[in-house]
Structure 1
Amino acid sequence: MPLSNSSPRSRPLLAVIMMALIALCCAQRASAQSPGTLSGPGFLETAAISNLFELETSKLALARTQSPQIRAFADMMVEDHTKIAARLKRAAADAKGDFTFPTALDGEHASLLEKLRAASGPAFDALYVQIQTTAHQQAVGLFGAFANDGDQTALKAFAAETLPIMQNHLAQVLKIQVKT
């Protein structure tokens, strides 16, 4: 049942259920793919898809949210993740490896983006915050692990330089209060 057709009383419940499913899905992916075991190409693919996902969901938030707090966060995401994408491409070039740079989301992230597109109002805001929280928890784990144990010097340096930005994003999204 689409959120727009549900009764006002059931919308918060549906939003909570959707957030729980997203968290479960993302937790399973994180446990199945330990960031510390990623090679340079694996890190590059995962980081690029994650970056693109955070960028696309934030652009959508700028178009949809009425919350000044979420708008400010989404603005920061678009600005920072646009820069991160350019830096990641430079690091991949500096690594001189045989890298394929993804230009589209994988199935899991595309599905989450579609769920976000289907939401509106407070349910949209709650889902966006949950998605960004989970994405940044994963990014902090990925970048931290690769910065410590990565096998490509240029990508390892990129991960170490970008980790504080991801940690800041996580801290900022955790401060957002969503009214449902």
Structure 2
Amino acid sequence: MMKKHLLILSAAPIFALAACGGNSNGGTDAMNSGDTVTNVPAGETSMGDNMGGMNGMDGNAMAATPMTGQDFANTVAASDAYEIAAGKLAQQKATASDLKDFGKQMVEDHTKSTAMLKTAGSKASPAITPAPAMTDEQQANLQTLQSATGTAFDTAYKSQQVVAHQKALAAVQAYAGGGDVAQLRDFAKDAEPVISKHYDMIKGM
């Protein structure tokens, strides 16, 4: 009688997320259904089935492999730049009033975030200066929003924002739990409830 052996294959997690990034098709393929964002209520991963940018990663895996301080600062700075630009477009182009209002809040909150990030980085030793250059993905997202009109814009903006805030929440939680720069850990802890609030808001629209 032959014994059957079960071979379990697991992909090594790769911590390579861009906070508040989204993607060029509206954001629906940036994460997959296997992803877990700590503190996100159960049963609220309806967009996860088609998401792939954080394949094989969960909150515990990411917490075990946090970004460096410079990488985290750059990620947040790029996220803020994307959110501000996308928020301005939402104020101009969204047909739904709640999305216009959300866009306005994104501009305000992420402008504050940028200022707080710079302050935190300046207090580190050695000091860390965030590089706000957006990723190719974030730039592609903005191009999608610039091209979209009417309700198509609303759909693309909301889709991008849901995924972007899932990513952002995972990033700040991971860095807050194991980041290498104390000042940036404190920033991440302060940013977490704000991003969580944004995430809840956009999902409810």
Short-chain TM bin: 0.7 to 0.9
| TM-score, normalization by structure 1 | 0.80
> Whole-Å Cα distance in 1 between the matches of residues 137 and 162 of structure 2?
16
- Give the aligned length: 158
**Does the CA contact (< 8 Å) of 1:53 and 1:105 recur in 2?**
yes
**Does the CA contact (< 8 Å) of 1:144 and 1:163 recur in 2?**
yes
Instruction: Please give the residue correspondences for 1:39-118 in structure 2 after superposition, counting only pairs within 5 Å.
Output: 39-97=68-126, 99-118=128-147
> 1:168 maps to what in 2?
197
Post-superposition CA distance 1:30-87 (Å, at most 9, x none): 3488753211111111111112111110111111112111111111111111100100
Unaligned runs of 5+ in 2: 1-23, 32-50
- Give 1:23's match in structure 2, choosing from 28, 48, 51: 28
Partner-residue secondary structure (3-state), 1:125? helix
Unaligned runs of 5+ in 1: 1-16
> Whole-Å Cα distance in 1 between the matches of residues 126 and 192 of structure 2?
22
Report the more deviating stretch, 31-40 or 50-59. Answer: 31-40
**What percentage of residue pairs aligned between the two structures are identical?**
30
**Does the CA contact (< 8 Å) of 2:145 and 2:157 recur in 1?**
yes
**Does the CA contact (< 8 Å) of 2:25 and 2:141 recur in 1?**
no
| TM-score, normalization by structure 2 | 0.71
Matching residue's letter, 1:53: Y
> Whole-Å Cα distance in 1 between the matches of residues 101 and 198 of structure 2?
12
**Does the CA contact (< 8 Å) of 2:121 and 2:127 recur in 1?**
no
1:157 to 2:186 alignment = yes
> Which entry has the higher C-alpha Rg, 1 or 2?
2
**Does the CA contact (< 8 Å) of 1:48 and 1:102 recur in 2?**
yes
